[in-house]
Amino acid sequence: MTARRQWTIIAGVLVIPAAGLFVASRTMQDELFPVTVGSDAPEFRAKVLGENRYKTLADYKGQVVLLNIWATWCTPCQAEIPSLQRLYSAYGAKGLKLVAVSIDDYVSEDSIKAFAKHFGVTFEILHDSTHSIEKSYQATGYPETFVIGREGTIRRKWIGPDDWSSQGNRSLVAQLLGVETPRAGESADR
């Protein structure tokens, strides 16, 4: 056997497993690299309603972010909005960035704005009609919410609606913001 043939065999032995690992890492990415508590928050890109510009996670670097993925047609999302607004009213001025990304694809931005106005929403609403945020965050339903710490790590992941003005959620947000945690039954506005 010639040296050239030996090197061809060695190269084949190395290339075939490497190619297999590459393909497996692409097809099984969600299983190998799950987006969960403790992982770095993935980047996203969503349109600012009524403007020709986009925001990304990098726009919120160093801030506490509650990222909510939702849709106007989603009944559980609608049920959750008042508690999100209460949380934002209590902690928005203290530094909480509440970013709700609508994944509506057949609804106009004006409809999304009207929907938010109907619910008295004062937090930031963005739009991702491409659904790319769902893939990046491995969302499995709506609403799905991620609390992201200042360092960019996911601190809480919640699938489905939640009471974001509950004592546990207010305590988590207060802790991440570095403000006093309100006692049970106490307003966070003090």
Query: Cα dihedral sign for 78, 80, 86, 90?
Result: negative
What is d(CA 36, CA 159) in angstroms, rounded to the nearest whole number? 11
Q: What tokens appear for 64 in the block?
A: 């506490």
Q: Residue 2: its pLDDT value, please? A: 79
Question: Average pLDDT for residues 162-190, to the nearest whole number?
Answer: 83
pTM of the model: 0.81
Cβ(187)–Cβ(90) below 8 Å? yes
What residues contact 76, with CB distance under 8 A and at least 6 apart?
142, 143, 160, 161
DSSP states of 34-97:
---TTSBPPP-EEEETTSS-EEEGGGGTTS-EEEEEE-TT-HHHHHHHHHHHHHHHHHTTTT-E
Q: Strand, coil or helix: what is 184?
A: coil
pLDDT of 31 over the 70 cut = no
> pLDDT category, 190, cuts 50, 70, 90?
very low
pLDDT of 33 over the 90 cut = no
Lowest mean pLDDT among 6-10, 76-80, 142-146: 6-10
Strand order in the sheet with 54-56: 54-56, 45-48, 124-127, 97-102, 65-70, 144-148, 154-159
